[in-house]
């Protein structure tokens, strides 16, 4: 039976969360969940995650995996909330340890904070095979946007591409976060675009141009024919030059500092202080 996929768009961060499953009543994976966060008030809420929970319950699914494509810089992960509510194992690529090392330094995290990925329930090595019920899945290492980005190939027919490729008219993800590398991203994208032309690609974000509705799915053929940054014929040097120039003009995402310090903890909040309150840090004049 082919994989079924349900998308949920978080308007505030333009993030798609996916539920991948084989049939009602069976196992599922939830990919890139969102915990709503208001930076003005410092309040979190679970509106977006609760929509995912409602779908899981309505379809009688049981959660096997809570997958992250990478440590996101534009939203906080709801994976720990979903695990408490629905179960499942939180998983990410093993190179998360590199990202943790960088941000442990930047945020001067507590000495006990481990940079070995052990906050996550499972770490994928490149090309690891895993299963969602009877669906065969593979964790593809696609560094470039960050060193730890993974794409998840499901059933040999569809790929959750994370922040490698965006929709063809939007292009590609930035590479200027710590550890990002435009050359690596080019290689990662070519790896994804080498899959059969009818392979469905599900993006993690969409930022549609004026007049187009947000969309979550495209194909290898559409990307190779029309991706504005990496259609067939664009070589590595041209891509790297375009990406580097473009990144130099981009501002930092609004939620980068709150999001990353939570997401390197697998979505868990920092330890509460003696007064019982949890704080997020803002390093001044560092980025």
d(CA 103, CA 171): 27
Contacts 24+ apart (CB under 8 A), 268-271: 268/80, 268/119, 270/109, 270/110, 271/110
Could you list the residues that contact Fe ion (CB under 5 A)?
A: 72, 163
Give residues with Cβ within 8 angstroms of 213, minimum separation 6: none
Bridge partners (DSSP) of residue 218 are: 201
Q: Which is nearer to Fe ion, 72 or 141 (CB)?
A: 72
Burial of 19 (0-12, 13-18, 19+ CB in 10 A): buried
What is the smallest separation between the CB atom of 173 and Fe ion, expressed in angstroms? 6
Going by their DSSP bridges, the two strands 200-203 and 158-162 should be labelled as parallel
DSSP-derived secondary structure letter, 74: S
Q: Which is nearer to Fe ion, 23 or 256 (CB)?
A: 256
Q: Which is nearer to Fe ion, 72 or 243 (CB)?
A: 72
What is the smallest separation between the CB atom of 11 and Fe ion, expressed in angstroms? 17
d(CA 62, CA 240): 42
For CA atoms 15, 167, 237, 197, give the dihedral sign.
positive
71-102 burial, b at 16+ Cβ within 10 Å, e below that, comes to bbbbbbbbbbbbbebbebbbbbbbbbbbbbbb
What is the smallest separation between the CB atom of 145 and Fe ion, expressed in angstroms? 6
What is the smallest separation between the CB atom of 69 and Fe ion, expressed in angstroms? 8
DSSP-derived secondary structure letter, 263: H
Q: Which is nearer to Fe ion, 156 or 178 (CB)?
A: 178
Q: Which is nearer to Fe ion, 135 or 175 (CB)?
A: 175
Q: Which is nearer to Fe ion, 26 or 147 (CB)?
A: 147
What is the smallest separation between the CB atom of 46 and Fe ion, expressed in angstroms? 21
Residue nearest to Fe ion (CB): 163
Q: Which is nearer to Fe ion, 14 or 85 (CB)?
A: 14
d(CA 249, CA 268): 32
What is the smallest separation between the CB atom of 52 and Fe ion, expressed in angstroms? 19
What is the smallest separation between the CB atom of 15 and Fe ion, expressed in angstroms? 9
């Amino acid at each position: 039976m082919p994989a079924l996929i349900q998308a949920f768009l978080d308007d505030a961060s333009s993030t798609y969360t996916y539920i991948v499953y084989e049939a009602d009543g069976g196992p599922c994976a939830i990919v890139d969940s969102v915990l709503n966060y208001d930076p003005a008030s410092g309040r979190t809420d679970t509106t977006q995650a609760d929509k995912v929970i409602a779908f899981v319950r309505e379809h009688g699914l049981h959660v096997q995996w809570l997958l992250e494509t990478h440590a996101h810089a534009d939203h906080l992960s709801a994976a720990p909330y979903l695990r408490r509510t629905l179960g499942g194992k939180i998983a990410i690529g093993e190179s998360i340890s590199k990202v943790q090392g960088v941000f442990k330094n930047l945020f001067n995290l507590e000495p006990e904070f481990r940079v070995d990925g052990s906050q996550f329930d499972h770490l994928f090595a490149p090309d690891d095979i895993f299963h969602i019920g009877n669906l065969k899945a593979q964790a593809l290492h696609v560094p470039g946007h960050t060193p730890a980005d993974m794409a998840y190939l499901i059933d040999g027919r569809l790929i959750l591409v994370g922040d490698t490729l965006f929709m063809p008219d939007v292009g590609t993800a930035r590479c200027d976060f710590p550890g990002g590398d435009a050359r690596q991203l080019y290689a990662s994208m070519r790896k994804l675009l080498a899959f059969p032309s009818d392979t469905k690609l599900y993006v993690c974000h969409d930022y549609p141009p004026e007049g187009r509705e947000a969309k979550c799915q495209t194909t290898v053929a559409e990307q190779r024919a029309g991706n504005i940054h990496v259609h067939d014929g664009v070589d590595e040097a041209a891509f790297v030059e375009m990406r580097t120039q473009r990144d130099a003009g981009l501002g930092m995402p609004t939620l980068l500092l709150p999001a990353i310090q939570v997401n390197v903890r697998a979505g868990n909040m920092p330890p509460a202080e003696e007064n019982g309150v949890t704080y997020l840090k803002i390093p001044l004049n560092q980025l």
